[in-house]
Homo-oligomer: A and B are copies of this chain.
Amino acid sequence: MHQDWFTTLAQYGYRLTGSRKAVVEIISSSTQALTPIEIYERARKVNDEIGLVSVYRTLEKLEELKLIQRVHQPAGCQAFMVASREHQHLLLCSQCGEIRFFEGDDLGSLIHTIAKKTGFEINDHWLQLFGVCQKCKTGQEAGA
């Protein structure tokens, strides 16, 4: 997966540097949403030269290219994760932070009804489900 990201970055004329590679590898392989600081701390274990500022700059570019997306949670909205290619929704574990995509919502008729009732032209929606994952339910520790 991160190979694809490198290709995309290169296509857009961005150079492949050590700092960028570290950030890309960390985010693209995480099953949790990560904040800039969390990414920075993980990246430093690989490359202790990296600056937090490069994490921010890389996140900015990855978001522009729609390779990552911001995740909104009750605890805060600074975390990022891999973006879904298609229209999908999130399922989040409130305990360990694991995040999964799911698809197949059938909001069509609801959206139609609300549009008719309110006069709004509805063109997007956010749906997120919150819960406790299987691992956390059974008491196991979750892998980071």
Q: Which of B72, B91, B120 contacts A91 (CB 8 A)?
A: B120
Is the CB–CB distance between B127 and A126 below 8 Å?
A: yes
Stretch among A14-22, A41-49, A50-58, A106-114 lining the B interface: A106-114
Is the CB–CB distance between B121 and A137 below 8 Å?
A: yes
Stretch among A5-13, A30-38, A97-105 lining the B interface: A97-105
Residue numbers of A with Cβ under 8 A of B are 72, 77, 91, 93, 100, 102, 104-107, 110-111, 113-115, 117-134, 137
Specify how many copies of this chain sit in the oligomer. Answer: 2
**Residues of B close to A133: CB separation below 8 A:** 118-120
CA gap between A117 and B91 in the complex, in Å: 12
Is the CB–CB distance between B127 and A131 below 8 Å?
A: no
List 13 interface pairs A-B (beta carbons < 8 Å), by A numbering.
Answer: A72-B77, A72-B126, A102-B118, A106-B110, A111-B129, A115-B131, A118-B133, A118-B134, A121-B132, A121-B137, A122-B131, A123-B130, A125-B129
